[in-house]
Amino acid sequence: MEHEEKQQEDQQEQPEQKQESHSKYIRMKKFPFIMGIFLLIFVTAGITLLALTFGDEKQVQPISRERQEFEKLYSTYDTLNKDYYTKIDQEKIIDGAIKGMISSLDDPYTDYMDEKQAESFHENISSSFEGIGAEVQQKDNQITIVSPIKGSPAEKAGIKPRDIVLSVNGKSLEGMSANEAVLLIRGKKGTKVNLVIQREGNTQPINVTIVRDTIPIETVYAKMMKDKIARIQVTSFSERTGSELEQSMKEMKAQGMKGMVLDLRQNPGGLLDQAMKIASLFVPKDEIVFQVEYRNGKKEIAKSENTGGKPEFPVVVLVDEGSASASEIVAAALSESADIPLVGVKTYGKGTVQTTEQFKDGSNVKYTMAKWLTPDGNWIHKKGIKPNVEAKLPEYANLPFISPDKALRINSSSEEVKAGEKMLAALGYKPGTVDGYFDQNLQGAVNQFQKDVKLQQTGTIEGKTTMALMDKIREKIQKHDVQLDKAIETVKKDLSK
């Protein structure tokens, strides 16, 4: 996965640094069985984010030409270098060979970053960033959205988990790595980027124009709901998330919190040390948080460091299809080791561990080197975690984006017209038969909507009307959050026991 997170060096005591070792900001110290880094990648329309990876630091050793399995590779290189009809770019052809090798693994989490990509990654990972705020990964040779970040331009534009990005500003992403795609998607605040999206259930691709912005780095949002039940949303696991959550819980307790909903929806992951810290707030001391299994069958176990005991109030975890990587580790740990119920829909399903090797020229290889398992030994890769209590959002919460630059008017017909009809119907207007055809009934509904939001009554869906329509739908989703309602209901049941 990929994501635009931002972490910095952990301030705890650092292990001895080796020459050519991994960057300091991804070092881990807390687990004696792990000598190197923890990575779990999640990318946000602009920057790659390391979140969970295990493994020893390694030195990159030169490959001896005596190794017979490389004889064909060397021969091909020598032939091209000597006899190709134009002079070859040696660096480019070597990079291409590495990318081809990695591509043959058919693993979206194994990737090669050339010097430029790696440099960009290092520059952005320790600070806020500018982009659209959508985590992406390469899957089945396509660039797929994992999750948009809360409050980001991508979320506001209606980008959804599992959307496939076909092109960026007219350039096809077919065959590109996630890192290459991210370099095209991100950009300076205030600039526009056009994405062509393929969404499951839609016969036609969707054009989405998004204005880039600075992506918020705040990761914890707390609010006291009715009956003294607090909703605390964690949007990613960055360097201060654990401390932010602890502080938010203290504030909610001071307000008389009787129960808590830990909202991990649309959380693509992040730093594992923060996931461990959060899990340890709920999982009893020395209970298992997760396991790591290597290809030789060896397993290593990470246990809770909880010193405060189990919370004295009922807790429910809220998850969805955008909950991935480190958020799945937390959800599984709380479910299996603390008997905390999960509410929502099945999670994303990323159950592998990555590490990196750095080369002298600044490039690196990120590769999958282990599985992670839940406390009970379940591997959730490509399966996700099924909640104890299922709660789905209504259909209008998954309607496709309508481009404000496109005019939908009388007698036109398209999937976007159908989306407009459904939006108006969800808001209480009467667009007539929902069939994707712009008839007089729909025109009348548009005029009434424009009147209600104090816009010029043109009877056409475009520009400010399109944006207002999508804003109203977003407000309705937030105001009538059926998944949150179900989570609160579950907390109340525990309170009544």
* Tokens linked to 158: 């209606």
* Tokens linked to 276: 């461990």
| 480 within 8 A of 299, measured Cβ to Cβ | no
| Residue 25 confidence (pLDDT) above 50 | no
Q: Residue 7: pLDDT band by 50, 70, 90 thresholds?
A: very low
Number of H helices, E strands in the chain: 12, 20
The mean pLDDT of 210-216, rounded to a whole number, is 86
Of 82-96, 125-139, 287-301, 351-365, which range is least confident?
125-139
**Which residues contact residue 454 at a Cβ distance below 8 angstroms, ignoring those fewer than 6 apart?**
none
108-118 confidence digits (pLDDT tens):
889 898 877 77
Nearest-angstrom CA–CA distance, 175 and 460? 38
Nearest-angstrom CA–CA distance, 481 and 495? 21
b/e code 358-393 from CB counts within 10 Å (16+ = b)? bbeeebbbbbbbbbbbbbeeeebeeebbebebebeb
pLDDT at site 216: 66
| Residue 352 confidence (pLDDT) above 90 | yes
The mean pLDDT of 375-381, rounded to a whole number, is 98
Distances (CA, A) of 8 to 44, 121, 122, 124, 198: 17, 13, 10, 10, 35
pLDDT at site 223: 96
pLDDT at site 287: 96
Q: Does 1.10.101.10 match the CATH number of domain 409-497?
A: yes
Which residues belong to the active site?
A: 325, 336, 350
Measured from the Cβ of residue 119, the count of other Cβ atoms closer than 10 Å reads 13
Of 60-64, 284-288, 466-470, which range is least confident?
60-64
| 403 within 8 A of 432, measured Cβ to Cβ | no
Mention the CATH class of domain 220-352+371-392. Answer: alpha beta
The mean pLDDT of 424-437, rounded to a whole number, is 97
| 5 within 8 A of 125, measured Cβ to Cβ | yes
Please report, for the chain, the start and end positions of each structural domain, with discontinuous segments joined by +: 220-352+371-392, 409-497
pLDDT at site 310: 81
SS3 462: coil
pLDDT at site 58: 41
Residue where the block lists tokens 């959730």: 380
| 25 within 8 A of 65, measured Cβ to Cβ | no
Of 9-23, 285-299, 390-404, which range is least confident?
9-23
| 158 within 8 A of 197, measured Cβ to Cβ | no
The mean pLDDT of 460-476, rounded to a whole number, is 94
62 versus 180: the higher-pLDDT residue is: 180
pLDDT at site 122: 55
Nearest-angstrom CA–CA distance, 233 and 465? 31
**Which residues contact residue 86 at a Cβ distance below 8 angstroms, ignoring those fewer than 6 apart?**
none
The mean pLDDT of 90-99, rounded to a whole number, is 90
| Residue 53 confidence (pLDDT) above 70 | no
pLDDT at site 9: 29
- Measured in whole angstroms, the distance separating CA 50 from the mean position of its chain's CA atoms is 11
pLDDT at site 249: 97
* Tokens linked to 464: 């400010």
The crossing angle, in degrees rounded to 10, of helices 326-338 and 272-279 is 20
| Residue 18 confidence (pLDDT) above 90 | no
Of 199-203, 285-289, 336-340, 445-449, which range is least confident?
199-203
| Residue 46 confidence (pLDDT) above 70 | no
263-313 confidence digits (pLDDT tens):
999 998 888 899 999 999 999 999 999 999 999 999 999 999 998 778 999
Tell me how many degrees the CA angle 293-297-303 measures, rounded to the nearest 5.
Answer: 35
pLDDT at site 258: 97
Torsion angle, alpha carbons of 36, 40, 42, 48, to 10: 10
| Mean pLDDT for all residues in the chain | 83
The mean pLDDT of 50-76, rounded to a whole number, is 60
Q: Residue 400: pLDDT band by 50, 70, 90 thresholds?
A: confident
Q: Residue 149: pLDDT band by 50, 70, 90 thresholds?
A: confident
Nearest-angstrom CA–CA distance, 286 and 310? 12
236 versus 296: the higher-pLDDT residue is: 296
Q: Which amino acid is at 429?
A: Y
Nearest-angstrom CA–CA distance, 70 and 73? 5
| 74 within 8 A of 61, measured Cβ to Cβ | no
| Confidence (pTM) | 0.74
| Residue 370 confidence (pLDDT) above 60 | yes
Tell me how many degrees the CA angle 87-88-93 measures, rounded to the nearest 5.
Answer: 175
pLDDT at site 38: 38
Q: Which amino acid is at 154?
A: A
SS3 451: helix
| 276 within 8 A of 332, measured Cβ to Cβ | no
Residue where the block lists tokens 């398209």: 414
* Tokens linked to 215: 């992506």
pLDDT at site 66: 64
Q: Residue 347: pLDDT band by 50, 70, 90 thresholds?
A: very high
275 versus 19: the higher-pLDDT residue is: 275
The mean pLDDT of 336-341, rounded to a whole number, is 97
Of 42-51, 115-124, 159-168, 456-465, which range is least confident?
42-51
